[in-house]
Structure 1
Amino acid sequence: MHRLVKWLSRASAIVGGVVLLILVALTTLSILGREISKIGHGLGDTWLGNMLVASGLDEIKGSYELTEAGVAFAIFAFFPVCQFYGQHATVDVFTSALPRRAVSWLRAFWEVVLAVVIVFISLRLYEGMQRYIGNGETTLFLQFPLWWAYAASVGAAFIASVTAVYCAWARISEAATGRAILPEG
């Protein structure tokens, strides 16, 4: 189970990273197109202005919609690897003075809380997707169904939920036995 969850969390992060790289390229191209179009229109009826306008370069329609959906997916895609490697932000000002066993149980407690929260968010996201499937709402420019973005995020959230539940179990086992199961963050 450990290797499967590790592989799922890493694969999810890689896919999320690829999506982010694509979104960066999309946004960059959209901004460049918009600026080239502005320059072309700003030059007026000159040969360069006419050439830039005739090139057809402009902002990529629907880039905001794709960015919104892609970033939502990427956020959920990065949760599992962050969870598996214990890289969520922590403040251990008070816990650094506690005995090791107490810190283990405290970590286990917070892993369980985080698992419950991630599973809850995932379920709510799934219910939102079901609502959008039912009402057929689409995006403004590209007209793709909103539930598609939800479905991608639900898939990543499912992996995040599996990882969170596994990590909660692992932290409880670590606290009970004193043996490390997960990598230290």
Structure 2
Amino acid sequence: MYVTLYRSAETLARWMALLGGLALLVVVVLTCVSIAGRVLLPLDIGVGPIKGIYDMTEIGVGAAIFAFLPWCQLKRSHAAVDLFKPVFGAALNRLLDVVVDLGMFVAAMLIAWRLYLGMLDKLRYGETTFIMQLPVWWGYAASLVGAVAFALVAIFCVIRSLRGLSGHSDPTEEPGI
């Protein structure tokens, strides 16, 4: 059962990271095209910057950041201060892993909840971006997908830490899994 949960969490986190990377690539390409269009503007050949590139960049980068959070959580790659970790010993470090993973799960749930409420607010009032007039809730919705995936992966990480605390080895760290 645990290996199935791990594979599900890893698949979700991996796909979210890939989608986040794709979103960043699209933003980079659009930005390059917009800059090239701006450079070619004096030649008067009908090319110019992309109207609303700032709106697209804002939404794309925001969504990408949230898409990377599940992978970061799964791989325990968040910023950490490990100054006392070597002194504490294995048992206390496993307990700290549980506490940190619980904290990240709570944070992920709060983030997803507040993004959801923000999205509903932007949807209700019909707020749009300044230049392209894109609905602002689109950015919230795209970010919410990553935040929900972050919460799902974070709850798996709590389970993983609790297993470690109870003395179970992590079968996903063995070769072939």
1:89-104 mapped onto 2 (5 Å cutoff): 89-104=79-94
Match for 1:13 among 12, 17, 21?
A: 17
Q: Any stretches of 5+ residues in structure 1 without a counterpart?
A: 41-51
Report the equivalent of 1:33: 37
- Alpha carbons 2:116, 2:140 under 8 Å: kept: yes
Give the Cα–Cα distance (whole angstroms) in 1 for the partners of residues 128 and 78 of structure 2. Answer: 34
Displacement after TM superposition at 1:182 (Å): 5.9
Report the equivalent of 1:46: none
**SS across alignment from 2:169:** coil
Q: Any stretches of 5+ residues in structure 2 without a counterpart?
A: none
Displacement after TM superposition at 1:181 (Å): 5.4
- Alpha carbons 2:14, 2:71 under 8 Å: kept: yes
Report Cα offsets for 1:35-79 as digits up to 9, x if no partner: 222xx2xxxxxxxxxxx21x1111100110000001110010000
Displacement after TM superposition at 1:10 (Å): 0.2
Q: Which structure is larger by alpha-carbon Rg, 1 or 2?
A: 1
Give the Cα–Cα distance (whole angstroms) in 2 for the partners of residues 60 and 26 of structure 1. Answer: 8
Give the Cα–Cα distance (whole angstroms) in 2 for the partners of residues 97 and 178 of structure 1. Answer: 22
Displacement after TM superposition at 1:109 (Å): 0.6
1:23-102 mapped onto 2 (5 Å cutoff): 23-37=27-41, 40=42, 52-53=43-44, 55-102=45-92
Report Cα offsets for 1:80-119 as digits up to 9, x if no partner: 0111111112221111111111111111111100110111
More off after superposition, 121-130 vs 96-105 = 96-105
Are 1:156 and 2:146 counterparts? Answer: yes
More off after superposition, 128-137 vs 141-150 = 141-150
Aligned residue pairs: how many? 169
Report Cα offsets for 1:133-170 as digits up to 9, x if no partner: 10011112221211111111111111111011111121
Report the equivalent of 1:49: none
Report the equivalent of 1:127: 117
Give the Cα–Cα distance (whole angstroms) in 2 for the partners of residues 75 and 162 of structure 1. Answer: 16
Instruction: Go from structure 1 to structure 2 and tell me whether the alpha carbon gap of 1:62 and 1:181 turns closer, same or farther (over 3 Å shift).
Output: farther
**SS across alignment from 1:177:** coil
Percent identity among equivalent residues?
A: 36
- Alpha carbons 1:84, 1:182 under 8 Å: kept: no
